[in-house]
A and B are shown apart, each in its own frame.
Chain A
């Protein structure tokens, strides 16, 4: 089946730092999504990307749909304590279901 490789697995950063994480696949995807999951809650959609090369921002978050359609990255600028959580990428191909990466655990040192 389709596989999404998400990296890094976890990050431990200083408050105020910028964060970058990415998702890659050997397959082409037509949609990339980024979700955040807080402890004890379900994933919440942060950003949706629909076109190769698309760059979309949501506050301090910026995500891009890779030009090859096989990858996507998420950047968080000036991290704050509430950025703690698990970030998931997800992608889908026409006619197939969403596939999720294993997640990046973000811990912020205040």
Chain B
């Protein structure tokens, strides 16, 4: 089973460029999440989608947008990348909201 698949795995952007991170899950989960991971700060929730058709802000939503394309896919968009958005981004999914989450392997994003 693939579980949660994220693309791309690595990306380097210049300040001001835009980019969309893709996430897909094959576990028929209802809820999906986007986190960023920075050294010493654990995982911080950017946006989440409790169910298809809904999205909500998490702890650190500024500078990001999301789209729940269908039940399987949840994308994260950076409209105008900034160096402060250099991070490792993880997508996760759970059967329903607030259940244990399953994570993808991350996208390592550097913004110069």
Contact = CB atoms under 8 A, between A and B. Distances in A.
B53 interface: no
A88 B42 CA distance: 8
A97 B48 contact: yes
Contacts, number: 49
Interface in B13-41: 33, 40-41
Count class of interface residues, chain B: 20 to 34
B98 interface: yes
A45 B100 contact: yes
Contacts of B101: 45, 98
Dominant secondary structure of chain A at its interface with chain B: loop
Interface string B36-66: 0000111111001000000000110000000
Contact of A42 (B4, B40, B48, B59): B4
